[in-house]
Amino acid sequence: MAGSDKKEARKFLPKDNRGYSNKVTAVLKLIIVLLILPVLVAHTRGLLNTLSTLESRLVVSFWFGVFVFFLIDLIIFKLNGLYKGGQKIIEAVFRFFAPLFKFAPYVLPIYTIIILVFSLAMDFFGGISSNQNMLMNLCAFSTVLHLVYTADAFRSRQSDFLKAGHFFTISLIYLCNLFVLAFAIDRILPNSSFFASFFHNSSDFSRDIYTAIFNQLFSI
């Protein structure tokens, strides 16, 4: 990743401070991360399970998009320029809304959102069904692009002695991106109720995980 991306990411990570208060904050953040970790696992499982219920052609298109990203990024050339271009679009949209101006480029997967808007337009004009495979491919590609380069931008700066600030921020960004991705797929497949199924599956998995943890800790 370019150094400028990493410097931008540092703006909303706490400055290095080894004082007692920062250590307490780090511990609290770590506890929160541990508490929301089952939610991240449940929503990831919810997305994968909901994807598995789709037609095979759509599932293949989705995973092909993921494969193409890693093929290009790891073997052919880095896509940080594409990522930075997306950040500039978000900055232009939110430049009058501080502190969203600083945070939004890392939270919002702009290219996935563009695909979402494009899908809405195609559905309105009746051309969505013939382009679903392509849109699923692009949707997966753009989301993975955003997550990988955002994680890389934050990785260079561990804000506290437990690295809790890093994991806390990335966890929230990851969860937000899952919801955007699920909603985008829902619009690509307007008759599938994908988002509702994703939400219900994720909620059920979260409940099951927390119930199992509670029973393990407090069962007599």
**Cα gap 123→199, rounded to integer Å:** 23
pLDDT higher than 90, residue 213: no
Contact 182, 136 (CB under 8 A): no
> What is the percentage of the chain residues whose pLDDT exceeds 70?
82
What average pLDDT does the segment 3-18 reach? 54
Contact 175, 199 (CB under 8 A): no
Q: Supply the pTM of this predicted model.
A: 0.81
The tokens for 35 are 């508490």
Greater confidence (64 vs 211) lies with 64
Name which of 86, 200, 71 is nearest 153 in CA terms: 86
The tokens for 83 are 């990522």
Residue 117, pLDDT score = 92
Residue 158, pLDDT score = 53
Contact 142, 62 (CB under 8 A): no
Greater confidence (71 vs 25) lies with 71
Residues shown for the chain: 220
Return mean pLDDT, the chain.
Answer: 83
DSSP strands (E only) in the chain? none
pLDDT higher than 70, residue 1: no
Where residue 101 falls among pLDDT bands split at 50, 70, 90? confident
**Cα gap 182→16, rounded to integer Å:** 36
Residue 145, pLDDT score = 96
Segment 156-202, tens digit of pLDDT: 655 544 455 677 788 889 999 999 999 999 999 988 899 999 999 99
pLDDT higher than 90, residue 113: yes
Greater confidence (164 vs 88) lies with 88
pLDDT higher than 70, residue 16: no
pLDDT higher than 70, residue 21: no
